[in-house]
Amino acid sequence: MIVVLTGAPGAGKGTQADLLAAREGYRKLSTGDALRKHVKAGTEIGRLAGAVMERGELVSDDLLFRILSEELGTIPTSETVLLDGYPRNLAQAEALDTLKASHPVRAAVLLDVPRSELVSRLSGRRVCGSCGASFHVKEQPPRVEGICDKCSGKLGQRPDDNPGSVAVRLDVFEKTTRPILDYYRNKGVFREVVGTGDPESVYRQLNSAIKGK
């Protein structure tokens, strides 16, 4: 079964999906993480996607569906998959539905955060180059500046967290991704959670929303 976790960049989808995976046993599938792995490994997909990602634009639907199918193929269908970052437009939502015999969408949950907060979260975000853990220079600083608390890896900015790409990514969410909310509303599986405030309280609300409580 699939739970679509949607929301603008910086809404906290990845962080919350990690918590849900660790505590509830869900499987996290992030298309952004999968793409970044391809870029790091220098694969053909990585070469095609890297520059597009850096500008904050969307990578092609065909490539994304290839990645989605590959990644889903490694997860037993008995597991609940938290889909972080897919679908990002209506065509992708429809493509996901073609897999519904084995991967029906049980819920689509929006993590809602105002744009001004998203900008400050993304501009202050620092990510570990080794394990991918995420910090914030003000809200969640590492114990030692520039060093990951978890694995002592080096922290840096994601190439698409620069002001120009952040603006593009937020606009893409509003114009291209937001229409999928109505798509899931019409299917009766849409839910909404306010993504600001204490992460533990966001977690509790999100967990209830996923379980349909």
Residues at the interface with ligand AMP (CB under 6 A): 9, 31-32, 35, 52-53, 56-59, 64, 85-86, 88, 92, 160, 169
36 is catalytic: no
- Least Å distance, CB 89 to ligand AMP, is 7
In the complex, the smallest distance separating the C-beta of residue 144 from ligand AMP, rounded to whole angstroms, is 25
Annotated catalytic residue within 13, 28, 121, 126: 13
Write the DSSP symbol of residue 176. Answer: I
In the bound state with ligand AMP, the residue whose beta carbon lies nearer, of 100 and 211, is 100
Between CA 206 and CA 113 the distance in angstroms is: 13
Separate counts of helices (H) and strands (E) for the chain: 9, 8
Smaller CB separation from ligand AMP, 73 or 212: 73
Residue 74 or 78: which CB sits closer to ligand AMP? 74
- What does each C-alpha distance from 138 to 18, 116, 125, 154, 175 come to in angstroms? 21, 15, 9, 18, 30
Sole residue written with tokens 């290839």:
66
Min dist CB 154 to ligand AMP, Å, is: 19
| Residue nearest ligand AMP by beta-carbon distance | 32
Q: Minimal CA–CA distance to 9: which of 136, 126, 115, 147?
A: 115
DSSP string for residues in 42-78:
T-HHHHHHHHHHHHTPPPPHHHHHHHHHHHHHTS-TT
Pick 71 or 160: Cβ nearer ligand AMP = 160
Of 28, 36, 88, 121, the active-site residue reads 88
Rounded CA separation 83/87 (Å): 8
The verdict on whether 125 is a catalytic residue reads: yes
CA angle 114, 116, 121 (to 5 degrees): 95
- Min CB(162)–ligand AMP separation in Å: 12
The C-alpha atoms of residue 22 and residue 45 are separated, in whole angstroms, by: 29
Compute the least distance from the CB of residue 213 to ligand AMP, in Å. 27
Asked if 173 and 114 touch (Cβ cutoff 8 Å), the reply is: no
From the candidates 28, 36, 126, 169, which is the catalytic residue?
A: 169
Q: Does 88 participate in catalysis according to the annotation?
A: yes
Q: Is 27 a catalytic residue?
A: no
Q: Considering beta carbons, is residue 4 or 204 the nearer one to ligand AMP?
A: 4
106 is catalytic: no
Q: Which residues are catalytic?
A: 13, 88, 125, 158, 169
